Structure 1
Amino acid sequence: MITFCMIINSYFEMERQTFKVLIAATGSVAAMKVPLLVDSLKKLNENNLDYCIEPQVMVTEHAKHFIEDFDKLHAHEDSTEWSAWQKRGDPVVHIELGKWADLLVIAPLDANTLAKISQGICDNLVTSTVRAWDLKKPLLFCPAMNTRMWEHPITSQQIAALKEWGYEEIAPISKTLMCGDTGVGAMAEVSTIVGKIKAKADKKFHP
């Protein structure tokens, strides 16, 4: 299979190490920014000559509702999991994706999926991949929800559980939300998320 980084390496006529980023999008309206996140990561490769960032995307069913031109993402979804496995020996997608990736970024992480992950529930491709994630590798999560959901007491408890496991939060910001309310709960800016991802790649290749 020809990958994005193979094409980039051919263009620059050099062989670069690859930093594999798995982006998990859940059912927040902020999922509409996933294509921009992917494009922004790919643009880093135009200037970075040390390594190439290779993004892949997986989504929950509700995330798909917010992503324009979803098919262009070539994202993994629940149907990917079930169509890949027919018999013993076939790939288990939520395991294979976890093995493939150097970094998992949940962006956006909605209130529902936050609650599931904090309780160990794994009922779809995204939550199963998170549950099977190798804790020796970094995981970033970007909460995104209405301010009232963010301020509910259980949210801070759930965030704390994820942090206790070594997951790293990219905190939400305050702005006017899609519903018209103003307050904390919007997903961090794409530029902030890209900066955090680049920092993880830099740390891997320039410890």
Structure 2
Amino acid sequence: MANILIAVTGSIASYKSADLVSSLKKQGHDITVLMTEAAREFIQPLTLQVLSQNPVHLDVMQEPYPDQVNHIERGKETDLFIVVPATANTIAKLAHGFADNMVTSTALALPDHVKKLVAPAMNTKMYDHPATQANLKTLETYGYQIISPKESLLACGDYGKGALADLNTILERIKETLDEQTL
């Protein structure tokens, strides 16, 4: 089975990452979770630690092993990196090479062979904004595959495209991506 690195960012959809971690773990994958500070406002790291059966990595400056650089080692050990949910802020940081938290630092240090997925979740206006669309196109040039959000009633009360893709859609894209890697 695969080593999957799941990056959780600060969206109301962050709570859905628990189901993703649980489902992938039940399939036999080794799951490691990274979180931004904003994600911690929506879901507790302990939840994801229990479900993944691995420590959750929160702080790029925390180095639990003196002989390793944590954000570098995480990337070396992964087959697939997925940001779910991916906020407009994190998408912009990834597109422009920012490395100011555990998620973005690890992403920037990923080896070339690692498959990368991004599942956006945000308000429709934020998703449709030309800056976000340009950032997503930039990520595609870096080898990221985008899992499009769905059209739905959003947490803010607006209706439109921006809701995190359904769990089954995300799981299917992960499976397809991992299957491509083994061909």
TM over 0.5: yes
Cα contact 1:58–1:77 (8 A) shared by 2: yes
Q: Which residue of 2 aligns with 1:6?
A: none
Secondary structure at the aligned position of 1:175 is classed as strand
Once residues 151 and 200 of structure 1 are traced to their aligned partners in structure 2, the CA distance between those partners, rounded to angstroms, is 26
* Percent identity (aligned): 42
The residue identity in structure 1 corresponding to 2:113 is K
RMSD over equivalenced CA pairs, Å: 1.5
Cα contact 1:84–1:90 (8 A) shared by 2: no
Q: Which residue of 2 aligns with 1:59?
A: 35
Q: Is 1:76 the counterpart of 2:57 in the alignment? A: yes
Q: Which residue of 1 aligns with 2:20?
A: 37
Q: Which residue of 1 aligns with 2:9?
A: 26
Q: Which residue of 2 aligns with 1:7?
A: none
Cα contact 1:116–1:127 (8 A) shared by 2: yes
Q: Extract structure 1 runs of 4+ deviating beyond 2 A.
A: 200-205
Q: Which residue of 2 aligns with 1:162?
A: 139
Task: Give the structure-1-normalised TM-score.
Answer: 0.81
Once residues 83 and 118 of structure 1 are traced to their aligned partners in structure 2, the CA distance between those partners, rounded to angstroms, is 26
Count of matched residue positions in the alignment of Structure 1 and Structure 2: 177
Structure with the greater alpha carbon radius of gyration: 1
Instruction: Using the TM superposition, give the Cα deviation of residue 201 of structure 1 relative to its aligned residue in structure 2, in angstroms.
Output: 2.6
Matches within 5 A, 1:29-178: 29-43=12-26, 45=27, 52-67=28-43, 69-74=44-49, 75-78=56-59, 81-84=61-64, 90-178=67-155
Secondary structure at the aligned position of 1:78 is classed as coil
Once residues 163 and 203 of structure 1 are traced to their aligned partners in structure 2, the CA distance between those partners, rounded to angstroms, is 17
Secondary structure at the aligned position of 1:82 is classed as coil
Once residues 76 and 42 of structure 1 are traced to their aligned partners in structure 2, the CA distance between those partners, rounded to angstroms, is 17
The residue identity in structure 2 corresponding to 1:23 is I
